A and B are shown apart, each in its own frame.
Chain A
Amino acid sequence: MYVLGIDIGSTASKAVAMTMDKKIYAKAVVSHGTGAIGPKQVYEKILSESKLEKSELKRILVTGYGRFVFDDADSQKSEISCHAKGVLYLSPDVRTIIDIGGQDVKAILLNDKGMITNFVMNDKCAAGTGRFLDNMAKVLNVKTHELGALSEHATEVVNISNTCTVFAESEVISQLSKNVSVENLIAGIHQSVAKRVSSLVYRNGIVKEVALSGGVALNKGVVKALSEALKLEIIVHEDCQFSGALGAALFALEEIGQK
């Protein structure tokens, strides 16, 4: 038997199937979030790729903004708890978690027992989130997943003064008209995300080790800029994008008594 954790975010849906002895059995991600076809797609994808039958899933726990709209869910949990649980599974020494999702930025502090002692989240503004990076990529006519690699070729960091998603777009367009290189602009965009996120992290307090989770953690440029802004090393696990779904699967195990 298995359990399934699903994380339905605003821009992507992730799923992790786990064995009864807490081993990752399968994982899947689709680039559609809540409100679209994402939840259904990710469910079908993980079942087909892992050859699992629905009847083999003992419990399904769903997290993320779309957690209440998934019909087959047995229970729901907030992404705050799920990300904390998932990151701890991947990197047990972590005490500060920064999660940058499609529309949310979270900073979570854990005590030495791994319990959440505090968390803060961004205010009602998309600045510093994955959605901000998506919009900027669109303006620059590149793919979001290409941003990290492109920023490695930057010769200088262009200052993007406006963190508002809408106004930053016009700022980037105006910089492009001055023939500023796309790479330098991307480095500036990453720095603006890092500034916004670091002030939130400082507000919550920092205890080492620090890990970054969520899809944006896959962007090396953001990791570098954030590491510089916080003046410390940031752990990024290769499965960082799955931490919410992973946490959901771990909670599902707990709910059926598998500690």
Chain B
Amino acid sequence: MSEVKEVKPKRELPLSRIMVNEQTAQVYAEAWAASEKGEPIGWSTAIFPQELCETFGVPLVYPENNAASISAKKLGEPFIEHAEGHMRYPINICSYARLNLGMADKIIEPGWEKVEPAMPVPTFLCLANNSCTQLMKWYENLSRNLNIPIFFMDCLYNYDEEEPAPHKIKYLKKQLENNIKKMEVLFNKKFDWDKFLEVQKRSQINRKLFNEIVALNARKPSPMNGFDLFNYMSCLVLCRGKASTTRIFEQLKREIEAHIQNGTSTYGSTPEAYRVHWEGIACWPNLGFNLKTLRKYGVNCVMNGYVTAWDVAYEPGDLEGMAKAYQCSSTNSFSTSSIMDMRTKSIEAFGCEGMLCHVNRSCKLMTFHIFVGRDMIEEKAKIPSTNFDGDQSDTRVFSEAQFETRLQGLVEIMKANKEAEL
């Protein structure tokens, strides 16, 4: 007789997560609807001033976010293989880029089988190089392969200081104005400055709400599994300037406050024995394994530096302030010691007892500082850390055994530290 496997009931999603899924579906539905009507539809880098297209009412989808979603479903491999094999892109470039370039080449083939979430073929690109310089080559390749224009925001690199020099801000402000003019031509629409102000206000409401939500996880024990932040962060990527994001964040905040009141957590029934800081982008294809293994050892990654990358703070109506915010929006615009100062503050605020560093094969920029950053954290925050090999999309890099061994080693050090304190 064949063995009957117990089927575990699926955990019911909280309303806020259902709302996130609905919002994401809506974004893609609007993009497809525009595409089918022959209207403009754009692909955008994650920290491009989305306020522009939101004001024009022109839909955008985000290849980085899309690559993360597809990778989390373990469906990215055929696109990566296509990019490496047929298109001859080397393994050393970003796996988001390989996945997306492979996909861009596949979706123009007639009758291709959609892999959800599927993006329609774009008619234009929005590119800001404030988080990564590799994005420029990636989007240049897309632009040439698909023969479509790019709206480019060239955010000059802050190589010597955290506060951008005035000429850099002026340069970016001019680009904002110039891109608006060029979009007016391509979209055949007048830019509505009053609506723009409303979108700016909404973007600020949403980022502040998200910061408040993140801060709630400093509670001990945390009301949230820290990995949840990766899911909710997508609202700021996809819909930073939309009222639907406000509704999601308000609902999420209510849910978290209820967890705090009831002494419960989305981390589940496993006691939160250790609180750690996660450094780097998520290992999307291995997120489930990471979470399961972390839970096995009672570890909650209560905070990570990645989710705050969309904290683009400015005064609505101040175009120069907005330019400055986008110039400084990503942690990649800061020096390693400044980033690690921020991490140290976050580690202290969230009561983290260790740090788990994802050495992401794809992201050379973030990996550049990982070892020296570790040393700084160990010295400043006085907590142990460990690193593991992984990738945001390429499944060939991560090793389950390596991850568990290093996590267990970190847990044993944190345990010994706790016992020594008693």
Minimum CB–CB distance from A161 to chain B (whole Å) comes to 20
A115 adjacent to B405 (CB under 8 Å): no
B368 at the interface (CB under 8 A from A): no
Contact with A along B406-422 (1 / 0, CB 8 A): 10110011001100100
Given contacts A80-B405, A203-B371, contact A123 B412 (CB under 8 A): no
Q: Which residue of B lies closest to A106 (CB)?
A: B409
The CA-CA distance from A104 to B401 in the complex, in Å, is 11
Q: Which residues of B contact A104 (CB under 8 A)?
A: 405
Picked from B359, B402, B408, B416, the residue with its CB within 8 Å of the CB of A116 is B416
Q: Which residues of A contact B412 (CB under 8 A)?
A: 77-78, 80-81, 116
Q: Which residue of B lies closest to A80 (CB)?
A: B409
Q: Which residue of A lies closest to B420 (CB)?
A: A115
Given contacts A77-B412, A78-B409, A119-B409, contact A124 B399 (CB under 8 A): yes
Picked from B359, B384, B405, B420, the residue with its CB within 8 Å of the CB of A118 is B384
B386 at the interface (CB under 8 A from A): yes
Given contacts A123-B359, A123-B389, A124-B399, contact A117 B405 (CB under 8 A): no
Picked from A77, A79, A120, A124, the residue with its CB within 8 Å of the CB of B389 is A124
A230 at the interface (CB under 8 A from B): no
Which residues of A are in contact with B by a Cβ distance under 8 Å?
65, 76-81, 104, 113, 115-121, 123-124, 203
B408 adjacent to A78 (CB under 8 Å): yes
Minimum CB–CB distance from A125 to chain B (whole Å) comes to 9
Minimum CB–CB distance from A50 to chain B (whole Å) comes to 28
Which residues of B are in contact with A by a Cβ distance under 8 Å?
359, 371, 378, 384-387, 389, 397, 399, 401-402, 405-406, 408-409, 412-413, 416-417, 420
| Total inter-chain residue pairs, C-beta < 8 Å | 50
Which 7 pairs of residues, A with B, have the shortest CB-CB distance? A80-B409, A78-B408, A78-B409, A81-B412, A124-B389, A116-B413, A115-B416
Minimum CB–CB distance from B188 to chain A (whole Å) comes to 52
Given contacts A77-B412, A78-B412, A203-B371, contact A119 B386 (CB under 8 A): yes
A65 adjacent to B416 (CB under 8 Å): no
Minimum CB–CB distance from A94 to chain B (whole Å) comes to 17
Minimum CB–CB distance from A214 to chain B (whole Å) comes to 15
What are 12 A-B residue pairs whose CB atoms fall within 8 Å in the complex?
A: A78-B405, A80-B409, A113-B420, A115-B417, A115-B420, A118-B378, A118-B385, A119-B386, A121-B406, A123-B359, A124-B399, A124-B402
The CA-CA distance from A204 to B371 in the complex, in Å, is 9
Question: Besides A78-B409, A78-B412, A203-B371, 4 other CB < 8 A contacts?
Answer: A79-B409, A119-B386, A120-B387, A124-B397
A117 adjacent to B406 (CB under 8 Å): no
Q: Which residues of A contact B409 (CB under 8 A)?
A: 78-81, 116, 119
Minimum CB–CB distance from B340 to chain A (whole Å) comes to 16
The CA-CA distance from A124 to B403 in the complex, in Å, is 11
Minimum CB–CB distance from B69 to chain A (whole Å) comes to 25
The CA-CA distance from A117 to B384 in the complex, in Å, is 7
